[in-house]
Amino acid sequence: MCGIIGYIGSQKVLPVLIEGLKKLEYRGYDSAGIAVAGRRHVRLCRVKGKISDLEKKLNQESLDGNYGLGHTRWATHGRPSEENAHPHQDCTGSFVVVHNGIIENYLSLKKELINEGHAFQTETDTEVIAHLVEKYFEENLGEAVQRAIQDLKGAFSLAVLSPLDWGKIVIAKMGPPAVVGINEGEYFISSDINPLLSHTRNIVFLEDQEMAVVTKEGFQFFDFEGKAVEKKVEQLSWTPLMIEKRGFKHFMLKEIYEQPQVVRDTISGRFSLESKKLCLDELGLSPQKLKHFSRVVILACGTSYHAGLVGKYFIESLSGIPTDIEYASEYRYRDFILDRNSLVLVISQSGETADTLAALREIKKQKCASLAVTNVPKSSIAREAQGVLLTHAGPEIGVAATKTFSAQLTALALTALYLAQVKGKLKEKDLLTFFQQLQRIPHLMESILGKAKSIQELAQRYHAYSHFLYLGRWVSFPVALEGALKLKEISYIHAEGYPSGEMKHGPIALIDEKMPSMVIIPRDRVYEKMMSNISEIKTRVGCVLAVASEDDREILSNVDEVIPVPSVHPLFTPFLTTLPLQLFAYYIAAIRGVDIDQPRNLAKSVTVE
Ligand code: F6R
């Protein structure tokens, strides 16, 4: 949801901003702009479109300087257009603002400001910030921003500069993330750490209600009341190489191929062969405490929600603890009943999803124990949850989540096994058997990836269909949802995921020769039921593609296409059955020629409600 970048130092600012914006582009990509500060005035360049369009426009203009701001937008208020692209300015052009978030009271603020004589140029909520800073400015930009943000309601992380108080970038955070990168004689502002990795590993994370004044000489942090705040400089472990494509055509394909390693990395160091026990001391919740939970509640959005659904089956089957799952966006507005015996698991790859973060804050108010499964170590959710289980997937740049899903499944399997261990639900030898099954998964994933060509050929045969049904039962039901989500979000083909037992209750009416069904049918406890569902589809001239166990001969004569996957413990089949569905969606999108890493209307990190 919009990316912000800022730089002050001795490098030429333009390449720093452009390179930074490219690394933030996954957050939003409908328009972009930069501002370069001169001593007397600020020069802007803005476009509707992507960073590549901004670059083209910049080739025709010379913007020189060592200090400026950049922005890539995902529109909330005001359609994507050049005028609505950030940075935004006040009436005089002296105050320049980039913003990520939503100013909820912007209409009333705008009305007041217009009454006071301010003239607005755009349809955005952000422009009010520039006019408020203009209104409150006396001689100190930090003080003006501090006064302006007192008037704002909503979520924001913002950065402001002005030639009237030259040599400063002022930033403030209330909701969406903001970080400061520190290097010798130069400072970076960013919405996340990705653009900073090639410059520095020294990062300061802003908390809500904190602001900073950054100059070439240093920085100072304050709270919104103006009181100085001491901040810790954190050292990052991610490397610049992690955010390169490394020869793959798209980040999504590279990330699909990284999954075996991601599962290995997420398992690594979490099982002691000596004691034959899982060691998850990092959770921040002692085994004694965990033992007493009689209920688990999982909250998440999108793909993380689908991982959570699989996690529910893991936890219930392995530890015997009743588990509920809810969309974080729904949880917030329900009268959800939680008690102190409930352990709440929040799942978010980015650790910044607004709904998940808000749900976590609700839970904390109710004094319930919370455990976050996230991929971003210092993200808001990681910092605010009581305990954290990190997925070691490395940065995910493709907007469609792939490797983080597998990493989440791994973390959830570990959590389920750990709960079983502390509750004494599994014998030592059974725990070891499950763990060994988990350890086999990367190797089995590699064998599926080795046959990607056949999935590419399948995509060639099916790319022209306009609708798909994805069907699964038990642990394959969330896989059906995830497979359908991948197809619709990157290829724009309508796809619906359904529990196959529900077919007869409505969706079967859709079946005809134009509606293929992708059926997830590994050999498991619902295999026979799934076979009956397949037969119901075939009777109605529906075409069936099946993701099935590779030793299943029976399936061959019952369906039109088979995507074989190796056998594993039935509970763990989602690790393997999801992978071909990711590849199928990827290859279909590639044939249809759409923008795979940045599908229309989407953004990687949804930091607004
Ligand atoms: C789909 C996708 C989204 C995210 C959702 C939650 O491919 O990526 O559905 O899963 O926006 O994001 P996180 O996990 O960052 O909370």
Q: Is the CB of 359 under 6 A from ligand 1?
A: no
524: closest CA among 560, 457, 580, 577? 577
Shortest-distance atom of ligand 1 to CA 381: 16
User: Mean pLDDT for the chain?
Assistant: 94
Q: What is the CATH number of domain 3-241?
A: 3.60.20.10
Average of per-residue pLDDT across 426-452: 95
Q: Is the CB of 400 under 6 A from ligand 1?
A: yes
- Residue keyed to tokens 């208020």: 77
Model pLDDT for residues 289-321, shown as the tens digit of each residue = 999 999 999 999 999 999 999 999 999 999 999
Amino acid code (one letter) for 454 = S
Q: Where in the chain is the domain with CATH 3.60.20.10?
A: 3-241
Model pLDDT for residues 378-436, shown as the tens digit of each residue = 899 999 999 999 999 999 999 999 999 999 999 999 999 999 999 999 999 999 999 99
Please report which confidence band the pLDDT of residue 363 belongs to, taking 50, 70 and 90 as the band edges: very high
CB 260 within 8 A of CB 246: no
Burial of 337 (0-12, 13-18, 19+ CB in 10 A): exposed
How big is the CA angle at 197 (ends 264 and 300), to the nearest 5 degrees? 55
Model pLDDT for residues 484-535, shown as the tens digit of each residue = 999 999 999 999 999 999 998 999 999 999 999 999 999 999 999 999 999 9
Q: Is the CB of 356 under 6 A from ligand 1?
A: yes
CA of 562 to the centre of ligand 1 (A): 29
Q: Is the CB of 87 under 6 A from ligand 1?
A: no
Percent of the chain with pLDDT over 70: 100
Residues 142 and 13: their CA atoms lie apart, in Å, by 22
Q: For the whole model, what pTM was predicted?
A: 0.85
CA of 195 to the centre of ligand 1 (A): 20
Please report which confidence band the pLDDT of residue 265 belongs to, taking 50, 70 and 90 as the band edges: very high
Model pLDDT for residues 18-35, shown as the tens digit of each residue = 999 999 988 888 899 999
Model pLDDT for residues 316-325, shown as the tens digit of each residue = 999 999 999 9
Is residue 604 part of the annotated active site? The answer reads yes
Is residue 2 part of the annotated active site? The answer reads yes
For residue 143, what are its two tokens? 């003080």
Residue to substitute in 251, 304, 482, 488 for testing ligand 1 pocket (most ligand atoms within 8 angstroms of CB): 304
Model pLDDT for residues 542-554, shown as the tens digit of each residue = 999 999 999 999 9
Neighbours of 88 (CB within 10 A): 28
Q: Where in the chain is the domain with CATH 3.40.50.10490?
A: 251-449, 452-592
For residue 120, what are its two tokens? 């607005």
CATH architecture designation of domain 251-449: 3-Layer(aba) Sandwich (3.40)
Residue 166's pLDDT is 95
Please report which confidence band the pLDDT of residue 95 belongs to, taking 50, 70 and 90 as the band edges: very high
32: closest CA among 91, 89, 95, 75? 75
DSSP strands (E only) in 282-368: 295-300, 323-327, 342-348
Q: At residue 62, does pLDDT exceed 90?
A: no
Length of the chain: 609
CATH fold for the domain made of 452-592: Rossmann fold (3.40.50)
Q: At residue 58, does pLDDT exceed 80?
A: yes
How big is the CA angle at 196 (ends 11 and 183), to the nearest 5 degrees? 55
CA of 117 to the centre of ligand 1 (A): 43
> Residue 205, SS3?
strand
- Angle of the 428-449 helix axis to the 259-267 helix axis, nearest 10: 160
**CB-based contacts of 4: which residues, under 8 Å, 6+ apart?**
24, 69, 70, 71, 98, 99, 100, 157, 158, 159, 178, 189, 190, 191
CB 8 within 8 A of CB 66: yes
The dihedral of CA 535, 536, 542, 546: what is its sign?
A: negative
Shortest-distance atom of ligand 1 to CA 400: 7
Note the Cα 482 to chain centre separation in Å: 15
Shortest-distance atom of ligand 1 to CA 302: 9
CB 491 within 8 A of CB 544: no
Residue to substitute in 353, 376, 390, 601 for testing ligand 1 pocket (most ligand atoms within 8 angstroms of CB): 353
277: closest CA among 427, 412, 438? 427
Q: At residue 362, does pLDDT exceed 80?
A: yes
Q: Where is pLDDT greater, at 372 or 242?
A: 372
Please report which confidence band the pLDDT of residue 281 belongs to, taking 50, 70 and 90 as the band edges: confident
Residues 526 and 476: their CA atoms lie apart, in Å, by 10
Among residues 110, 254, 312, 604, which one is catalytic? 604
Please report which confidence band the pLDDT of residue 564 belongs to, taking 50, 70 and 90 as the band edges: very high
CA of 399 to the centre of ligand 1 (A): 8
Which residue's CA is the nearest one to ligand 1's atom 9? 302
347: closest CA among 336, 357, 337? 357
Neighbours of 179 (CB within 10 A): 23
Residue 48's pLDDT is 95
User: Which run of H or E residues covers position 59?
Assistant: helix 51-59
